[in-house]
């Protein structure tokens, strides 16, 4: 790939077998304008903040540059689609930051590609701002995630239920390789490409791999361990991904593809927001089960690499997959113990706590942030007697560590109604609500007295009950 003006990008993914990608021509848009840029992130990953504000950057990040679209397959709500790929996205290059980590620059909403399958390849401003807001909040929580470098308004209208403003998001990730990428190759019997893909991912994101064939089962083991940690972290902040298809699971362990995602206000373990998740497949409490289901699909795609004897390959894979749930449970219990200020907390007490919150229709974030301050939490329970009983059981677990709680319990989350308010305002040309929300989400564990209302749950009129993917 040719370097784009002042900011040279590397490009290693195109060195992988051609079955994994297709070239995409530049697709200029009518009138690109920056809506928001992330200078701090740019500096962190090795991109010049000066370049980021330039016309060259505007052209590159609006899609006016050659690139490649990545191929992958995927199980979408349990149904296998053998060919998906970047239908409205493209990879424009890679940068190596001061931390020596290689990261992709990936555009969403940049236009049609070989994999578009009839779609328009574009994205709406609202959907791209939602991803910007939520991914930056996740980064501030310390949860592995893709990041948002910029949103560019295209000056064009995108037809959805109505005409909406078009936009392109620049997404930053350690990798855009998904479970579905492996499925794509396995469905085509591309064993050599599978090996090459594993070696590429290992070299980029998985240090310490053994030499020889053992590296393949070792890679699966690492992916399983990272996903167990990631899903536990999601659940500890009340996050619901909303569309955990295999093409939306990054093998490097980052949260990817913020479509109909949401953070819970009132807690309920079966909470679903996604408008397309009619049966609750990806509800809050189903996320570990579905992560294991996705990982099982990854193992199936890699079976030929584990051993030439299929039965032996299956046994090797099953042995690793069986480690997921114990690893998840340990990570979740550890995370919940921290939220409660405890060094150790048994699963039974966590279950009792969550059931009490569900019975009381309690706001998930505000319960834990209120508990952290030592303020009265009676209102979060069905009645005072249940609260008194719970508090006694909590204190009986040992010394409460306030510092542990303050580091584990955000005061601010990107609540659905606040995101919607910021999007509506941005569509009308007012970016103040967006910047106000991003300000508190950049330091979500800190008190922001002037912005305290952003921590409040929605009123009945403000509540958002459904979220959408934006395609």
Question: How many whole angstroms separate alpha carbon 170 and alpha carbon 105?
Answer: 6
pLDDT score, position 271: 96
Residues in Cβ contact with 338 at an 8 Å cutoff, skipping those fewer than 6 apart: 404, 405, 407, 408
Q: Report residue 331 as tokens.
A: 């990570």
Q: Mapping DSSP to helix (H, G, I), strand (E, B) and coil, where does residue 149 land?
A: strand
Provide the b/e sequence for 81-107 (b: ≥16 CB within 10 Å): beebbbbbbbbbbbbebeeeebbbbbb
Rounded mean pLDDT for each run of 10 residues along the chain, 471 residues in total? 55 96 92 97 95 94 93 96 96 96 97 90 96 98 98 95 95 98 98 98 96 96 98 98 97 96 97 92 98 98 98 98 98 98 94 97 98 97 96 96 98 97 97 98 97 96 86 61
Angle between helix axes 179-187 and 191-205 (nearest 10 degrees) is 160
Which residue in 55, 192, 199, 247 is the catalytic one?
Answer: 247
With beta carbons less than 8 A apart as the criterion, state whether 212 and 44 touch: no
Q: Is 247 a catalytic residue?
A: yes
SS3 253: coil
């Amino acid at each position: 790939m040719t370097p784009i003006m002042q900011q040279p990008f590397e490009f290693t993914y195109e060195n992988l077998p051609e079955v994994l990608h297709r070239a995409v021509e530049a697709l200029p848009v009518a009138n690109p304008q920056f809506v928001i840029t992330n200078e701090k992130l740019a500096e962190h990953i090795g991109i010049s903040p000066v370049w980021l504000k330039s016309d060259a950057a505007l052209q590159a990040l609006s899609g006016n540059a050659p690139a490649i679209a990545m191929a992958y397959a995927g199980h979408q709500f349990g149904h296998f689609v053998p060919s998906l790929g970047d239908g409205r996205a493209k990879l424009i290059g890679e940068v190596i930051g001061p931390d020596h980590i290689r990261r992709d620059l990936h555009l969403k909403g940049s236009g049609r590609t070989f994999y578009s399958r009839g779609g328009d390849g574009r994205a709406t401003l609202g959907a791209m701002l939602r991803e910007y807001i939520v991914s930056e909040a996740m980064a501030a929580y310390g949860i592995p995630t893709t990041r948002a470098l910029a949103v560019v308004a295209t000056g064009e209208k995108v037809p959805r239920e109505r005409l909406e403003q078009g936009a392109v998001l620049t997404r930053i990730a350690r990798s855009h390789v998904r479970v579905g990428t492996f499925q794509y190759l396995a469905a085509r019997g591309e064993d050599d490409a599978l090996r090459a893909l594993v070696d590429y991912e290992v070299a980029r994101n998985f240090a310490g791999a053994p030499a020889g064939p053992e590296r393949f089962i070792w890679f699966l083991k690492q992916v399983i361990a990272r996903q167990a940690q990631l899903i536990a972290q999601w659940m500890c902040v009340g996050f619901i991904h909303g569309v955990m298809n295999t093409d939306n699971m990054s093998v490097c362990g980052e949260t990817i593809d913020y479509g109909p995602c949401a953070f819970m206000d009132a807690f309920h373990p079966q909470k679903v927001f996604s408008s397309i998740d009619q049966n609750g497949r990806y509800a809050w409490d189903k996320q570990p089960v579905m992560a294991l289901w996705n990982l099982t699909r990854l193992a199936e795609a890699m079976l030929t690499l584990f051993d030439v004897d299929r039965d032996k390959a299956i046994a090797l894979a099953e042995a690793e997959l069986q480690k997921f749930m114990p690893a998840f449970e340990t990570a979740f219990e550890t995370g919940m113990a921290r939220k409660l200020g405890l060094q150790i907390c048994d699963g039974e007490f966590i279950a009792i706590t969550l059931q009490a919150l569900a019975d009381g229709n309690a706001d998930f974030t505000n319960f834990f942030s209120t508990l952290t301050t030592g303020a009265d939490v009676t209102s979060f329970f069905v009645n005072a007697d249940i609260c008194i009983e719970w508090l006694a059981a909590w204190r009986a677990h040992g010394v409460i560590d306030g510092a542990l709680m303050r580091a584990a319990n955000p005061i601010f989350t990107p609540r659905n109604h606040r995101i919607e308010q910021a999007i509506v305002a941005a569509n009308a040309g007012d970016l103040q609500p967006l910047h106000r929300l991003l300000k508190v989400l950049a330091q979500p564990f800190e008190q922001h007295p002037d912005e305290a209302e952003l921590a409040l749950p929605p009123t009945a009129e403000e509540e958002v009950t459904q979220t959408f993917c934006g395609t």
